Amino acid sequence: MSIAWPAITGKDPMPKLEKNLLEMDALQVHYGPVCAVNGVSINIGAGECVALVGESGCGKTSLSRAVLGLEKISGGRVFFDGKNISDYDADDWKKYRERVQMIFQDPAESLNPRITVGGALNEVLKVCRKMPAAERLKETESLLKTVGLDADLAVRYPHELSGGQKQRVGIARALAVNPDLIIADEPVSALDVSVQVQILNLLLDLQQARGMALLLIAHDLAVVRYMCRRIYIMNRGEIMESGTADQIFENPSHPYTRALLDAVPDVDRGRD
């Protein structure tokens, strides 16, 4: 979409949260002279499921990478549990990365092709949770079960799995450290519709059962509707509109949000 939309200013329809787990304050990310994220403020409460929706190139991935410390923050601040992550020392970073985990878009590319599924999980348990070998084996089994996979799959390599199964392994790996927040960057856009539902339901169940917070990044508004209480709409590095799911879907105030809503394929529409 080539039109530059004006950002809505003045009002903040977001319900105020009591305590923020993650708080971005006018976050900026630059690549050389290019500004990918321009003054974005997003709050996520503990145990809350929040969606960030926008098209390719809107800066949503840069934003999530900056929050994880994978990209340099060029302006603004990010607070986690009330502490600015720019002030973290090496020890703090280590702890932070155990509390915040990421699930990537392409499950095939985020798994090492030469390490078995069990091996990938085992590594996390060994390095981050310092478990003894026997316990790791048991925990690997239970993690696979949690994400709906057969324990026998532990000896398989990523190429032997289907796309949906690989994404489940990615989720199991993120869960292995018992995180407080999972950032899921387009976790289903590479998957079939029928498998999308399975993965989204799994994320929803886990989020509710474990009380984790979830930042769901997507480009399809229909996908986030039933998962998230609050939604942020992003375009060209800025937040266009934010609000509760009901506000966004039933009463979108920004033309860009309406354009996104119109683009969702409608099963019930007739042929013109």
Partner 1 sequence: MPEPLVRVEDLCIDFGSARIIDGFSFHIRSGETVALVGESGCGKSMSALALARLVPEPAGRYAGGRVMFEGRNILEMSERDIRRLRGNKIAYVFQEPGASLNPVMRVGDQIAEALRLHRGREGVRDEVIRLLEMVGIPDPANRRRSYPHQLSGGQQQRVMIAMALACRPKLLVADEPTTALDVTVQAQILDLLQKIQRESGTAILLITHNLGLVAGRADRVYVMYAGCLAESGPVEKVLRDPRHPYTRALLKAVPRLNHKGGRLPGIPGNVPSADAMPDGCRFHPRCALSDRLCAEVPPPVEAVENEHCVACHHWKRSNAKT
Residues contributing to the site for partner 1 (CB under 8 A)? 1, 55-57, 162-165, 192-198, 200-201, 204-205, 219-223, 225-226, 245-246, 249, 259-272
> Which ranges of 102-254 would DSSP assign to H, the alpha helix?
117-127, 133-146, 163-175, 193-210, 221-224, 245-250
Q: Which is nearer to partner 1, 12 or 192 (CB)?
A: 192
Q: Which is nearer to partner 1, 165 or 242 (CB)?
A: 165
Q: How far is the CB of 192 from partner 1 (least distance, A)?
A: 4
Q: How far is the CB of 60 from partner 1 (least distance, A)?
A: 11
Give the separation between CA 155 and CA 157, rounded to whole angstroms.
7
Q: Which is nearer to partner 1, 212 or 260 (CB)?
A: 260
Residues contacting residue 138 through CB under 8 Å, at least 6 positions apart: none
Q: Which is nearer to partner 1, 23 or 241 (CB)?
A: 241
Does residue 143 sit in helix, strand or coil? Answer: helix
Determine the residue type at 39.
G
Q: Which is nearer to partner 1, 44 or 245 (CB)?
A: 245
Q: How far is the CB of 217 from partner 1 (least distance, A)?
A: 13
Q: How far is the CB of 31 from partner 1 (least distance, A)?
A: 16
Q: How far is the CB of 120 from partner 1 (least distance, A)?
A: 21
Looking at 1-53, which runs of residues are DSSP E strands?
20-31, 34-40, 43-45, 49-53
CB crowding 119-147: b at 16 or more within 10 Å, else e: ebbbebbeeeeebeeeebbebbbebbebb
